[in-house]
Protein backbone atom coordinates (compact mmCIF):
# COMPACT_ATOMS: atom_id res chain seq x y z
CA UNK A 1 0.00 0.00 0.00
CA UNK A 2 1.42 3.35 -1.09
CA UNK A 3 1.81 5.90 1.71
CA UNK A 4 -0.79 8.66 1.01
CA UNK A 5 1.93 11.34 1.15
CA UNK A 6 3.77 9.50 -1.64
CA UNK A 7 0.69 9.61 -3.85
CA UNK A 8 0.17 13.34 -3.33
CA UNK A 9 3.85 14.10 -3.99
CA UNK A 10 3.79 12.03 -7.19
CA UNK A 11 0.68 13.83 -8.38
CA UNK A 12 2.37 17.20 -7.76
CA UNK A 13 5.22 16.25 -10.11
CA UNK A 14 2.77 15.17 -12.82
CA UNK A 15 0.86 18.43 -12.41
CA UNK A 16 4.07 20.47 -12.63
CA UNK A 17 4.91 18.92 -15.97
CA UNK A 18 1.35 19.34 -17.25
CA UNK A 19 1.40 23.02 -16.33
CA UNK A 20 4.66 23.46 -18.20
CA UNK A 21 6.53 24.38 -15.04
CA UNK A 22 9.49 22.24 -16.00
CA UNK A 23 10.50 18.69 -15.42
CA UNK A 24 9.16 18.11 -11.95
CA UNK A 25 12.23 15.89 -11.53
CA UNK A 26 12.70 16.87 -7.90
CA UNK A 27 9.35 18.33 -6.85
CA UNK A 28 7.73 15.06 -5.67
CA UNK A 29 10.92 14.14 -3.79
CA UNK A 30 11.25 17.62 -2.31
CA UNK A 31 7.69 17.36 -0.95
CA UNK A 32 8.05 13.83 0.36
CA UNK A 33 11.41 14.43 2.08
CA UNK A 34 9.89 17.49 3.76
CA UNK A 35 6.90 15.52 5.03
CA UNK A 36 8.84 12.32 5.74
CA UNK A 37 12.57 13.04 6.25
CA UNK A 38 13.36 9.29 6.27
CA UNK A 39 11.41 8.67 3.05
CA UNK A 40 14.44 7.30 1.18
CA UNK A 41 15.12 4.81 3.99
CA UNK A 42 11.50 3.68 3.96
CA UNK A 43 11.44 3.25 0.18
CA UNK A 44 14.84 1.56 -0.28
CA UNK A 45 13.12 -1.85 -0.04
CA UNK A 46 11.94 -1.18 -3.60
CA UNK A 47 15.56 -1.71 -4.64
CA UNK A 48 15.55 -5.48 -4.29
CA UNK A 49 18.95 -5.66 -6.01
CA UNK A 50 20.51 -2.89 -3.86
CA UNK A 51 21.95 0.46 -4.89
CA UNK A 52 25.07 2.04 -6.32
CA UNK A 53 25.91 5.66 -5.46
CA UNK A 54 28.41 7.72 -7.48
CA UNK A 55 29.99 10.94 -6.29
CA UNK A 56 32.78 13.28 -7.43
CA UNK A 57 33.36 16.95 -8.12
CA UNK A 58 33.63 16.24 -11.84
CA UNK A 59 32.32 13.44 -14.06
CA UNK A 60 29.53 11.96 -11.97
CA UNK A 61 26.75 12.55 -14.52
CA UNK A 62 28.75 11.12 -17.42
CA UNK A 63 29.96 8.16 -15.38
CA UNK A 64 26.47 7.37 -14.08
CA UNK A 65 25.31 7.31 -17.66
CA UNK A 66 28.11 4.95 -18.71
CA UNK A 67 27.32 2.61 -15.81
CA UNK A 68 23.62 2.64 -16.69
CA UNK A 69 24.56 1.68 -20.24
CA UNK A 70 26.65 -1.30 -18.98
CA UNK A 71 23.91 -2.49 -16.62
CA UNK A 72 21.12 -2.18 -19.21
CA UNK A 73 23.18 -4.16 -21.71
CA UNK A 74 23.29 -6.88 -19.06
CA UNK A 75 19.48 -6.83 -18.82
CA UNK A 76 19.25 -5.22 -15.38
CA UNK A 77 16.17 -3.35 -14.23
CA UNK A 78 17.26 0.04 -12.96
CA UNK A 79 16.01 2.95 -10.89
CA UNK A 80 17.98 6.12 -11.67
CA UNK A 81 17.87 9.84 -10.96
CA UNK A 82 18.10 12.30 -13.87
CA UNK A 83 21.11 14.61 -14.15
CA UNK A 84 20.92 17.62 -11.89
CA UNK A 85 18.51 15.90 -9.46
CA UNK A 86 21.32 14.62 -7.25
CA UNK A 87 20.23 15.69 -3.76
CA UNK A 88 18.07 13.68 -1.32
CA UNK A 89 14.97 15.03 -3.13
CA UNK A 90 16.15 13.67 -6.48
CA UNK A 91 16.81 10.20 -5.07
CA UNK A 92 13.42 10.29 -3.31
CA UNK A 93 11.68 11.30 -6.56
CA UNK A 94 13.27 8.35 -8.38
CA UNK A 95 12.21 5.95 -5.62
CA UNK A 96 8.66 7.35 -5.56
CA UNK A 97 8.32 6.63 -9.27
CA UNK A 98 9.71 3.08 -8.94
CA UNK A 99 7.33 0.10 -8.64
CA UNK A 100 6.68 -1.01 -5.05
CA UNK A 101 6.94 -4.74 -5.78
CA UNK A 102 9.17 -5.13 -8.85
CA UNK A 103 8.67 -8.40 -10.71
CA UNK A 104 12.42 -8.61 -11.34
CA UNK A 105 15.18 -7.41 -8.98
CA UNK A 106 15.61 -3.63 -9.27
CA UNK A 107 19.00 -1.93 -8.85
CA UNK A 108 19.31 1.77 -7.91
CA UNK A 109 21.99 3.80 -9.72
CA UNK A 110 22.27 7.32 -8.33
CA UNK A 111 24.69 10.15 -8.98
CA UNK A 112 24.88 12.11 -5.75
CA UNK A 113 26.06 15.61 -4.82
CA UNK A 114 29.30 15.53 -2.80
CA UNK A 115 27.85 17.30 0.22
CA UNK A 116 24.59 15.34 0.18
CA UNK A 117 26.30 11.94 -0.08
CA UNK A 118 26.72 11.02 3.63
CA UNK A 119 23.02 11.53 4.46
CA UNK A 120 21.89 9.72 1.31
CA UNK A 121 24.27 6.79 1.88
CA UNK A 122 22.98 6.51 5.46
CA UNK A 123 19.39 6.12 4.30
CA UNK A 124 20.06 4.11 1.17
CA UNK A 125 22.62 1.59 2.60
CA UNK A 126 24.23 1.14 -0.85
CA UNK A 127 25.86 -2.07 -2.08
CA UNK A 128 28.54 -0.16 -3.94
CA UNK A 129 29.95 3.37 -3.42
CA UNK A 130 32.02 4.90 -6.26
CA UNK A 131 34.10 7.98 -5.37
CA UNK A 132 36.03 9.51 -8.27
CA UNK A 133 37.68 12.84 -7.44
CA UNK A 134 37.60 15.99 -5.32
CA UNK A 135 38.56 19.30 -6.92
CA UNK A 136 38.40 22.94 -5.90
CA UNK A 137 34.85 23.92 -6.83
CA UNK A 138 33.28 27.36 -7.03
CA UNK A 139 34.99 29.71 -4.60
CA UNK A 140 31.97 30.77 -2.55
CA UNK A 141 31.73 27.10 -1.62
CA UNK A 142 35.44 27.00 -0.84
CA UNK A 143 36.52 25.28 2.31
CA UNK A 144 34.14 22.48 1.47
CA UNK A 145 36.88 20.40 -0.16
CA UNK A 146 38.67 19.36 3.05
CA UNK A 147 35.38 19.34 4.89
CA UNK A 148 33.79 16.99 2.33
CA UNK A 149 36.80 14.72 2.38
CA UNK A 150 36.44 14.42 6.19
CA UNK A 151 32.69 13.77 5.97
CA UNK A 152 33.25 11.09 3.33
CA UNK A 153 35.77 9.49 5.67
CA UNK A 154 33.19 9.34 8.47
CA UNK A 155 30.57 7.97 6.07
CA UNK A 156 32.85 5.12 4.91
CA UNK A 157 33.69 4.23 8.53
CA UNK A 158 29.96 3.81 9.16
CA UNK A 159 29.29 1.49 6.19
CA UNK A 160 29.23 -2.29 6.80
CA UNK A 161 32.25 -4.32 5.57
CA UNK A 162 30.05 -5.95 2.91
CA UNK A 163 29.73 -2.63 1.04
CA UNK A 164 32.18 -2.39 -1.86
CA UNK A 165 33.96 0.98 -2.04
CA UNK A 166 35.43 1.83 -5.45
CA UNK A 167 38.07 4.57 -5.19
CA UNK A 168 40.30 6.49 -7.60
CA UNK A 169 43.91 5.62 -6.72
CA UNK A 170 45.19 8.61 -8.72
CA UNK A 171 43.52 11.26 -6.52
CA UNK A 172 45.32 11.59 -3.16
CA UNK A 173 42.26 13.38 -1.72
CA UNK A 174 40.20 10.25 -2.49
CA UNK A 175 42.96 7.66 -1.92
CA UNK A 176 43.33 8.63 1.73
CA UNK A 177 39.75 7.37 2.23
CA UNK A 178 41.11 3.85 1.64
CA UNK A 179 42.03 3.60 5.32
CA UNK A 180 38.40 4.03 6.37
CA UNK A 181 36.95 0.78 4.99
CA UNK A 182 38.12 -2.85 4.62
CA UNK A 183 36.60 -3.54 1.18
CA UNK A 184 38.25 -1.24 -1.39
CA UNK A 185 38.50 -1.67 -5.16
CA UNK A 186 41.03 0.72 -6.73
CA UNK A 187 40.89 2.08 -10.25
CA UNK A 188 43.23 4.47 -12.07
CA UNK A 189 45.06 5.31 -15.29
CA UNK A 190 48.42 3.57 -15.77
CA UNK A 191 49.14 5.09 -19.20
CA UNK A 192 51.29 8.20 -18.67
CA UNK A 193 51.83 9.09 -22.33
CA UNK A 194 49.52 12.15 -22.06
CA UNK A 195 50.96 13.31 -18.72
CA UNK A 196 51.67 16.97 -18.00
CA UNK A 197 55.07 17.99 -16.67
CA UNK A 198 53.75 19.95 -13.71
CA UNK A 199 50.64 20.54 -11.61
CA UNK A 200 48.30 23.16 -13.07
CA UNK A 201 48.03 26.59 -11.46
CA UNK A 202 44.95 25.82 -9.40
CA UNK A 203 45.94 22.34 -8.21
CA UNK A 204 44.68 21.20 -4.83
CA UNK A 205 45.98 18.34 -2.71
CA UNK A 206 49.61 19.38 -3.17
CA UNK A 207 50.51 18.04 0.25
CA UNK A 208 50.61 14.56 1.76
CA UNK A 209 47.45 13.77 3.75
CA UNK A 210 49.48 11.67 6.18
CA UNK A 211 52.48 13.86 7.01
CA UNK A 212 51.87 17.28 5.40
CA UNK A 213 55.02 17.29 3.23
CA UNK A 214 54.69 18.19 -0.49
CA UNK A 215 53.67 15.24 -2.67
CA UNK A 216 55.97 14.23 -5.54
CA UNK A 217 54.28 13.60 -8.91
CA UNK A 218 55.91 11.20 -11.37
CA UNK A 219 53.03 11.94 -13.75
CA UNK A 220 50.26 14.56 -13.67
CA UNK A 221 47.23 13.33 -15.62
CA UNK A 222 44.18 15.50 -14.86
CA UNK A 223 44.43 18.36 -12.33
CA UNK A 224 46.01 16.83 -9.23
CA UNK A 225 45.20 13.28 -10.38
CA UNK A 226 48.23 11.25 -11.36
CA UNK A 227 51.04 9.05 -10.13
CA UNK A 228 52.11 10.48 -6.80
CA UNK A 229 54.11 9.55 -3.74
CA UNK A 230 55.45 11.13 -0.59
CA UNK A 231 59.21 10.98 -0.08
CA UNK A 232 58.88 11.89 3.59
CA UNK A 233 56.54 9.16 4.87
CA UNK A 234 56.42 6.69 1.98
CA UNK A 235 52.67 6.97 1.28
CA UNK A 236 52.05 6.37 -2.40
CA UNK A 237 49.36 5.81 -5.02
CA UNK A 238 47.79 2.39 -4.43
CA UNK A 239 48.20 -0.04 -7.34
CA UNK A 240 44.82 -0.14 -9.10
CA UNK A 241 43.33 -3.54 -9.92
CA UNK A 242 41.23 -1.93 -12.67
CA UNK A 243 43.52 0.30 -14.71
CA UNK A 244 43.51 2.04 -18.07
CA UNK A 245 46.69 0.61 -19.59
CA UNK A 246 46.44 2.53 -22.88
CA UNK A 247 44.46 5.66 -23.75
CA UNK A 248 44.32 7.05 -27.30
CA UNK A 249 42.67 10.42 -27.95
CA UNK A 250 41.09 10.96 -31.37
CA UNK A 251 40.73 14.73 -31.37
CA UNK A 252 37.42 16.07 -30.12
CA UNK A 253 35.58 13.04 -31.42
CA UNK A 254 36.36 9.88 -29.52
CA UNK A 255 38.79 8.01 -27.29
CA UNK A 256 40.02 4.42 -27.17
CA UNK A 257 40.74 2.93 -23.75
CA UNK A 258 42.27 -0.46 -22.91
CA UNK A 259 41.29 -1.41 -19.38
CA UNK A 260 43.08 -4.20 -17.51
CA UNK A 261 40.86 -6.00 -14.98
CA UNK A 262 41.16 -9.16 -12.86
CA UNK A 263 38.53 -10.73 -15.16
CA UNK A 264 40.45 -9.97 -18.34
CA UNK A 265 41.03 -6.93 -20.58
CA UNK A 266 38.32 -4.58 -21.83
CA UNK A 267 38.91 -2.80 -25.14
CA UNK A 268 36.78 0.32 -25.55
CA UNK A 269 36.94 1.64 -29.12
CA UNK A 270 35.44 4.91 -30.34
CA UNK A 271 33.86 6.10 -27.10
CA UNK A 272 32.22 9.39 -28.17
CA UNK A 273 33.43 11.33 -25.12
CA UNK A 274 36.67 13.18 -25.90
CA UNK A 275 39.58 13.92 -23.58
CA UNK A 276 41.67 12.17 -20.97
CA UNK A 277 39.17 13.05 -18.22
CA UNK A 278 36.66 10.81 -19.98
CA UNK A 279 39.15 7.94 -19.82
CA UNK A 280 38.79 8.31 -16.02
CA UNK A 281 35.01 8.25 -16.36
CA UNK A 282 35.14 5.12 -18.54
CA UNK A 283 37.55 3.33 -16.20
CA UNK A 284 35.46 4.25 -13.15
CA UNK A 285 32.33 3.00 -14.92
CA UNK A 286 34.03 -0.29 -15.83
CA UNK A 287 35.15 -0.73 -12.21
CA UNK A 288 31.63 -0.14 -10.88
CA UNK A 289 30.01 -2.39 -13.50
CA UNK A 290 32.47 -5.21 -12.70
CA UNK A 291 31.76 -5.00 -8.97
CA UNK A 292 28.06 -5.30 -9.81
CA UNK A 293 28.74 -8.48 -11.79
CA UNK A 294 28.47 -7.28 -15.38
CA UNK A 295 30.59 -9.64 -17.53
CA UNK A 296 33.82 -8.17 -18.90
CA UNK A 297 32.74 -9.04 -22.43
CA UNK A 298 29.67 -6.78 -22.24
CA UNK A 299 31.32 -3.72 -20.72
CA UNK A 300 33.47 -2.61 -23.68
CA UNK A 301 30.57 -2.84 -26.11
CA UNK A 302 28.21 -1.03 -23.74
CA UNK A 303 30.68 1.80 -23.08
CA UNK A 304 31.40 2.52 -26.70
CA UNK A 305 27.71 2.68 -27.62
CA UNK A 306 26.99 5.23 -24.85
CA UNK A 307 25.91 8.73 -25.69
CA UNK A 308 26.96 11.98 -24.05
CA UNK A 309 24.95 13.18 -21.07
CA UNK A 310 23.09 16.48 -21.18
CA UNK A 311 25.60 19.18 -22.10
CA UNK A 312 28.68 17.03 -21.66
CA UNK A 313 30.36 16.89 -25.08
CA UNK A 314 26.83 16.77 -26.49
CA UNK A 315 26.53 17.41 -30.23
CA UNK A 316 23.53 19.11 -31.84
CA UNK A 317 22.84 20.45 -35.31
CA UNK A 318 21.56 24.00 -35.68
CA UNK A 319 21.01 25.76 -39.02
CA UNK A 320 23.10 23.09 -40.71
CA UNK A 321 26.02 23.61 -38.37
CA UNK A 322 27.37 21.38 -35.60
CA UNK A 323 27.09 22.81 -32.09
CA UNK A 324 29.21 21.08 -29.42
CA UNK A 325 28.12 21.75 -25.83
CA UNK A 326 30.90 21.55 -23.25
CA UNK A 327 29.60 22.26 -19.73
CA UNK A 328 32.04 24.11 -17.46
CA UNK A 329 31.56 24.07 -13.70
CA UNK A 330 34.93 24.69 -12.08
CA UNK A 331 38.62 25.30 -12.87
CA UNK A 332 39.64 21.62 -12.99
CA UNK A 333 36.84 20.77 -15.42
CA UNK A 334 37.50 23.87 -17.50
CA UNK A 335 41.20 23.04 -17.78
CA UNK A 336 40.31 19.62 -19.22
CA UNK A 337 37.94 21.22 -21.73
CA UNK A 338 40.77 23.56 -22.78
CA UNK A 339 43.14 20.59 -23.18
CA UNK A 340 40.50 18.76 -25.21
CA UNK A 341 39.89 21.78 -27.48
CA UNK A 342 43.63 21.87 -28.17
CA UNK A 343 43.17 18.51 -29.91
CA UNK A 344 41.26 20.25 -32.74
CA UNK A 345 43.99 21.30 -35.19
CA UNK A 346 41.87 24.00 -36.91
CA UNK A 347 41.26 27.60 -35.72
CA UNK A 348 38.47 27.63 -33.14
CA UNK A 349 35.12 29.43 -33.06
CA UNK A 350 33.98 29.59 -29.45
CA UNK A 351 31.07 30.96 -27.44
CA UNK A 352 31.54 31.14 -23.66
CA UNK A 353 28.75 31.82 -21.17
CA UNK A 354 29.43 32.95 -17.58
CA UNK A 355 26.60 33.20 -15.05
CA UNK A 356 26.92 33.80 -11.29
CA UNK A 357 23.66 32.31 -10.04
CA UNK A 358 23.60 30.02 -7.01
CA UNK A 359 24.16 26.81 -8.99
CA UNK A 360 27.09 28.37 -10.89
CA UNK A 361 28.81 29.80 -7.81
CA UNK A 362 28.27 33.47 -7.09
CA UNK A 363 31.98 34.28 -6.99
CA UNK A 364 33.31 34.47 -10.55
CA UNK A 365 36.98 34.65 -9.50
CA UNK A 366 37.38 30.99 -10.46
CA UNK A 367 37.74 31.95 -14.14
CA UNK A 368 41.19 33.30 -13.25
CA UNK A 369 42.20 29.84 -12.01
CA UNK A 370 41.45 28.37 -15.45
CA UNK A 371 44.44 28.13 -17.79
CA UNK A 372 42.77 29.55 -20.93
CA UNK A 373 46.12 30.78 -22.27
CA UNK A 374 46.91 27.76 -24.55
CA UNK A 375 43.73 28.58 -26.53
CA UNK A 376 44.67 32.18 -27.33
CA UNK A 377 46.71 31.55 -30.50
CA UNK A 378 44.03 29.08 -31.63
CA UNK A 379 40.95 31.31 -31.37
CA UNK A 380 39.42 32.54 -34.63
CA UNK A 381 36.33 34.09 -33.05
CA UNK A 382 35.34 34.32 -29.39
CA UNK A 383 31.84 35.37 -28.33
CA UNK A 384 31.38 36.01 -24.62
CA UNK A 385 27.93 35.87 -23.00
CA UNK A 386 26.07 35.52 -19.71
CA UNK A 387 25.25 37.61 -16.64
CA UNK A 388 28.96 38.20 -15.96
CA UNK A 389 30.15 38.30 -19.58
CA UNK A 390 32.28 41.37 -18.92
CA UNK A 391 34.25 39.64 -16.17
CA UNK A 392 35.09 36.86 -18.60
CA UNK A 393 36.00 39.40 -21.29
CA UNK A 394 38.50 40.93 -18.83
CA UNK A 395 39.98 37.49 -18.18
CA UNK A 396 40.78 37.24 -21.90
CA UNK A 397 41.84 40.89 -22.24
CA UNK A 398 44.42 40.47 -19.47
CA UNK A 399 45.49 37.13 -20.91
CA UNK A 400 46.44 39.16 -23.99
CA UNK A 401 43.69 38.36 -26.51
CA UNK A 402 43.34 41.02 -29.14
CA UNK A 403 40.01 42.92 -28.85
CA UNK A 404 39.23 42.37 -32.53
CA UNK A 405 38.80 38.61 -32.02
CA UNK A 406 36.40 39.03 -29.07
CA UNK A 407 32.71 40.05 -29.02
CA UNK A 408 30.83 40.62 -25.77
CA UNK A 409 27.11 39.81 -26.20
CA UNK A 410 25.49 39.06 -22.80
CA UNK A 411 21.98 37.78 -23.87
CA UNK A 412 21.97 34.04 -24.59
CA UNK A 413 20.05 33.96 -27.87
CA UNK A 414 21.89 36.98 -29.31
CA UNK A 415 25.25 35.48 -28.35
CA UNK A 416 24.35 32.19 -30.01
CA UNK A 417 23.33 33.96 -33.23
CA UNK A 418 26.43 36.15 -33.25
CA UNK A 419 28.66 33.14 -32.68
CA UNK A 420 26.92 31.02 -35.34
CA UNK A 421 27.15 33.83 -37.88
CA UNK A 422 30.87 34.19 -37.23
CA UNK A 423 31.72 30.49 -37.35
CA UNK A 424 33.77 29.39 -40.36
CA UNK A 425 32.00 27.31 -43.02
CA UNK A 426 32.09 23.59 -42.35
CA UNK A 427 33.38 24.10 -38.82
CA UNK A 428 31.68 23.35 -35.49
CA UNK A 429 30.82 26.01 -32.94
CA UNK A 430 32.00 25.09 -29.46
CA UNK A 431 29.75 26.37 -26.64
CA UNK A 432 31.16 26.46 -23.10
CA UNK A 433 28.40 27.45 -20.64
CA UNK A 434 28.27 27.37 -16.84
CA UNK A 435 25.44 25.31 -15.34
CA UNK A 436 22.55 27.80 -15.31
CA UNK A 437 23.77 29.22 -18.63
CA UNK A 438 23.49 25.70 -20.01
CA UNK A 439 19.87 25.59 -18.88
CA UNK A 440 19.23 28.97 -20.53
CA UNK A 441 20.95 27.89 -23.73
CA UNK A 442 18.90 24.71 -23.63
CA UNK A 443 15.68 26.73 -23.53
CA UNK A 444 16.75 28.63 -26.65
CA UNK A 445 17.68 25.39 -28.41
CA UNK A 446 14.39 23.72 -27.42
CA UNK A 447 12.43 26.75 -28.67
CA UNK A 448 14.21 26.39 -32.01
CA UNK A 449 13.44 22.68 -32.14
CA UNK A 450 17.03 21.45 -32.07
CA UNK A 451 17.13 19.94 -28.57
CA UNK A 452 14.92 18.19 -26.04
CA UNK A 453 14.04 19.48 -22.58
CA UNK A 454 16.63 18.16 -20.14
CA UNK A 455 14.09 16.25 -18.06
CA UNK A 456 13.39 14.05 -21.07
CA UNK A 457 17.08 13.11 -21.08
CA UNK A 458 17.73 9.42 -20.26
Closer Cβ to other proteins, 77 or 436, answer by number: 436
Cβ pair 177, 185 in contact under 8 A: no
As measured in angstroms, the least distance from the Cβ of 361 to other proteins is 10
Judged by beta carbon, residue 312 or residue 395, the one nearer other proteins is 395
Judge contact between 453 and 442, C-beta under 8 A. Answer: yes
Angle at 215 between CA 224 and CA 255, to 5 degrees: 30
Give me the least distance between CB of 352 and other proteins, in Å please. 14
Shortest CB 443 distance to other proteins, Å: 14
Distance of closest approach, residue 213 Cβ to other proteins, in angstroms:
12
Let me know: does 310 contact 61? Beta carbons within 8 Å: yes
Closest CB to other proteins among 207 and 456? Answer: 207
Nearer to other proteins, 287 or 393 (CB): 393
Closer by beta carbon to other proteins, 269 or else 390: 390
Which residues would be at the binding site for other proteins (CB under 8 A)? 136, 139-140, 142-143, 146, 201-202, 206-207, 212, 356-358, 362-369, 387-391, 393-395, 397-400, 408, 436
Choice between 138 and 163, CB closer to other proteins = 138
Is the CB of 109 or the CB of 145 nearer to other proteins? 145
Which of 411, 407, 400 shows the shortest CA–CA distance to 382? Answer: 407
Query: Using an 8 Å Cβ cutoff, are 433 and 328 in contact?
Result: yes
Q: How far is the CB of 203 from other proteins (least distance, A)?
A: 10
Decide: 318 and 309 in contact? Cβ < 8 Å: no
Q: Backbone phi, then psi, for 308, in 5-degree steps?
A: -60, 145
Looking at beta carbons only, is 41 or 206 nearer to other proteins?
A: 206
Residue 169 CB, nearest distance to other proteins (Å)?
24
Comparison of 110 and 366: residue with beta carbon closer to other proteins: 366
Using a CB cutoff of 8 Å and minimum separation of 24, what contacts does 45-48 make? 46/79, 46/95, 46/98, 46/99, 46/100, 46/102, 46/106, 47/79, 47/95, 47/98, 47/106, 47/107, 47/108, 47/124, 48/102, 48/105, 48/106
Shortest spacing between CB 391 and other proteins, in angstroms: 5
**Smallest gap, in angstroms, from Cβ of residue 165 to other proteins?**
26
Q: Do strands 379-385 and 164-168 pair parallel, antiparallel, or not at all (unpaired)?
A: unpaired
- Choose between 256 and 369: whose C-beta lies nearer to other proteins: 369
Residue with smaller CB distance to other proteins, 207 or 405: 207
Q: Minimum distance between the CB of residue 17 and other proteins, rounded to whole angstroms?
A: 22
Q: What angle do CA 255, 340, 296 make, to 5 degrees?
A: 25
Nearest distance from C-beta of residue 24 to other proteins, angstroms: 20
Minimum distance from residue 19 beta carbon to other proteins (Å): 21
CB of 403 to other proteins, least distance (A): 8
Specify the residue, 368 or 455, whose C-beta has the smaller distance to other proteins.
368
Amino acid sequence: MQHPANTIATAAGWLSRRLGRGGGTTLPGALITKWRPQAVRSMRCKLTDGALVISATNGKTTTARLIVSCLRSDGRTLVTNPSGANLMSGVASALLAAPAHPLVPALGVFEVDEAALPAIADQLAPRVVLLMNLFRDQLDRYGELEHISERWLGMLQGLPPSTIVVLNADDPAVAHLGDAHPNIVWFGIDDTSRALTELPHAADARRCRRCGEPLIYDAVLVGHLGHWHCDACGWRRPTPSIAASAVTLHGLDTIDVDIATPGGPIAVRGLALPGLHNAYNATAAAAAALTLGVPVTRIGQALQSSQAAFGRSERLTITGRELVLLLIKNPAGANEIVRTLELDPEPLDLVLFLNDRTADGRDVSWIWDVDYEPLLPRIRTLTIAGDRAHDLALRFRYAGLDDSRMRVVPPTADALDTALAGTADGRPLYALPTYTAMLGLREVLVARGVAQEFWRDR
